[in-house]
Amino acid sequence: MKRKTATSTPVSRYLNILSIEKVVQMDFDTLVTMLKTPETIRIAGECIEELIGTCNIRIFIASYMIAYKTSSVIDEMDSLSTPLVRSATAMLVNWDAILKKKMRCDSSFHGLVQEYLDCFKAWRIPDCEKLVTRIGHALGALYSAQEHLPKDEPEDSSLKVIPNVLLM
């Protein structure tokens, strides 16, 4: 087991938890747990900020699930998910090589990051639209249920719908 030293770099800390070899060996639930920990987010943030610059850390590290645990994240490969998986994989393979070889991120790598982010955004739009629709239906059902509550329903009842509250 390697000792952590006070002089460890963001890159070495990152590779210690998120090298491709380690990610491939994890099951999906372990990976999700790892990606959600504050320590992972902090270490990834330090490393990504140092080498890439400003980037949405959570979307960047979600690429590990997309590229290496595809069947757990994507229901059906279609015209939006196929380029997303391809771009996530290409970005991470290059990222891993950059970190291990202590190279600088060049414009071609920045292009891979942007391609992944664009694909992620396009892929997420239909999911967001479905979610908004489902929330709207749920809210409508709550308001409809409110009409059927007895008039003497206590104010602190968990079934009581609070007027003018939007859950988005």
Per-residue pLDDT, 54: 87
Q: Is pLDDT at 45 greater than 50 in this prediction?
A: yes
CA 96 to chain centre: 18
Higher pLDDT pick, 163 / 8 = 8
Is the predicted pLDDT of residue 42 greater than 80, yes or no? yes
What pLDDT, on a 0 to 100 scale, did the predictor assign at position 147?
A: 74
Three-point CA angle 3, 12, 54, nearest 5°: 145
pTM given for the model? 0.73
Place of tokens 């393979």: 93
* Amino acid in position 105: C
pLDDT tops 50 at residue 167: no
Q: Over 60: is that where the pLDDT of 2 sits? A: no
* CA–CA dist 67, 62 (Å, integer): 9
Q: Residue 25's closest CA among 78, 69, 90, 71? A: 69
Rounded mean pLDDT, 53-68: 93
Q: What is the reported pLDDT for 165?
A: 52
**Amino acid identity at 56:** N
Task: Tell me: pLDDT of 103 over 70.
Answer: yes
Position 164 scores a pLDDT of 55
Where does residue 128 fall: left (phi above 0), alpha (psi -120 to 50 degrees), or beta otherwise? alpha
Query: What's residue 115's pLDDT?
Result: 97
Instruction: State percent of the chain over pLDDT 90.
Output: 46
Provide the residue ranges of all domains of the chain, joining segments of one domain with +: 10-123
| 44 has pLDDT over 50 | yes
The confidence score (pLDDT) of residue 11 equals 86
